[in-house]
Amino acid sequence: MAGITQRLYDWLGNRLDATSASEVVAKDFAKAAMTEAAFRIATGYISSMVAKCPIRFYERGRLVEDSRDAYSWNLSPNANESGPELMGRMVDRMLHEKEGALVVPYRGSLYLADSAAPSKRNHLGEDVYEHVTVGGEQIRRSYRASDVFRFRMPSDLHGIVDGMNGWYDRALEAAMGDFAKRCGRKYKLKSPAIRPGDTKAQQEFSKYVNESLKSFLEADSAVLPEYAGTELSEVGTSATVTTSSNLVNLRKDCFEAVAAAAKMPTSMLYGNVNNFAEVFRSFMSFAVDPVIDVTQAELQRKTFDYDGWSAGDRVVIDSTHLKYTDLFDAADSASKIVSSGLLTPDGVAELLGLDPAGEEWSGAYWMTRNYAPAGEVYAGGGE
């Protein structure tokens, strides 16, 4: 019954302010699609990670930092959004849409199309895309498959989540019904009997119930006029304080199922930082890297042809910068990386998010004299 405050937690496990039970049920739970919410949280993590990765273009095996492709994909694909914005929306579309995401070139810019489904499928040739729209505006030209970038995951992740959604919706509906029954308040009103045929008394009593009493029960603070002979009492007062623990448990189970479908640790959805290094490695290996691989392969094959690829032209989505690294914690490892000739000092500085020195010595590879070819060590008797 409205107006009776309960101790409640929403389905995300957050403590609610004093609110009427019926308002919580009507406004929050009835519209909650838990699987969709969990799925959007999961894909939000993935898309934000991929959007943080710089896209590097190599020609003949050497990095080209000032190429037009690098500028378009990393910084400014079009006049309306930045590179990370486009990449984030694109990855989100990849994970939510069965047909994936379609990026089309138009007048020197790159745009995310509203739909990635081809107009004409040709399994032994090129698909054709006609009537392509961007934000509802149609591009008056057709594209072949080789003209566009189509990013699509091999598995229909959202289809899996949709399959679970029906079951969780039914379970949520049942839990909501039980919750409303336990939280609702019922009252009985005692009043003097009204003589049959006394129309005026019946009208006054009806007005009292529908106006004064109803307003009193719906208000957080109110005064109820009580006439001689009337008495308002509550029925079943033992369940005056309840919690939405069943809904919270259902939400936890839903999050675990979605995390398994997205191949990511459940603790990522809860923001749990315990054992973060292991959790992050698992998240990158099974949830993020597959998306990077698909995106990287599509960029590679649509940017360079076979001759370029065989000569060392390639596209690399660099995920080495995703994990935060403290400079002082990384000092010893950085020294070993430089002394082993793995990276130049400038390379290590860039990896740590620092500006490279840009000097001749900082761009050179270094190695400690303690290293020697294995054959020489063997010939010298291991000394």
Query: Rounded to an integer, what is the distance from CA 37 to the centroid of its chain?
Result: 9
Specify the higher pLDDT residue, 86 or 358: 86
Q: Are residues 314 and 335 in the same domain?
A: no
pLDDT value at residue 292: 95
Q: Are residues 164 and 258 in the same domain?
A: yes
Q: Are residues 77 and 222 in the same domain?
A: no
Which of 80-84, 100-104, 299-303, 343-347 is the least confident region?
343-347
- Tell me: pLDDT of 193 over 80: no
Query: Which pair of tokens denotes residue 167?
Result: 């079951």
Tell me the residue ranges of DSSP E strands in 72-229. 101-106, 109-112, 128-129, 133-134, 137-138, 143-144, 149-151, 186-190
Specify the higher pLDDT residue, 166 or 11: 166
Q: Are residues 226 and 204 in the same domain?
A: yes
Query: Distances in Å between the alpha carbon of 217 and those of 36, 188, 189, 205, 232?
Result: 35, 12, 13, 16, 11
Q: Are residues 12 and 146 in the same domain?
A: yes
pTM confidence score: 0.67
Q: Are residues 71 and 116 in the same domain?
A: yes
Q: Are residues 297 and 207 in the same domain?
A: no
Region 352-372: mean pLDDT is: 80
Per-residue pLDDT tens over the stretch 251-296:
777 788 888 888 888 888 777 767 878 888 889 999 999 999 999 9
Specify the higher pLDDT residue, 172 or 382: 172
- Tell me: pLDDT of 209 over 90: no
pLDDT value at residue 47: 93
- Domain containing residue 363: 325-383
Give the total number of structural domains in the chain.
3
- Rounded to whole angstroms, the Cα distance separating 37 from 35 reads 5
Confidence category of residue 132, pLDDT binned at 50, 70, 90: very high
Query: Partners of 110 in the beta sheet?
Result: 105
- Rounded to whole angstroms, the Cα distance separating 337 from 357 reads 17
Specify the higher pLDDT residue, 98 or 374: 98
Pick the last residue of a domain from 270, 287, 322. Answer: 322
Q: Are residues 294 and 153 in the same domain?
A: yes
Question: CA-based diameter of the chain, in Å?
Answer: 122
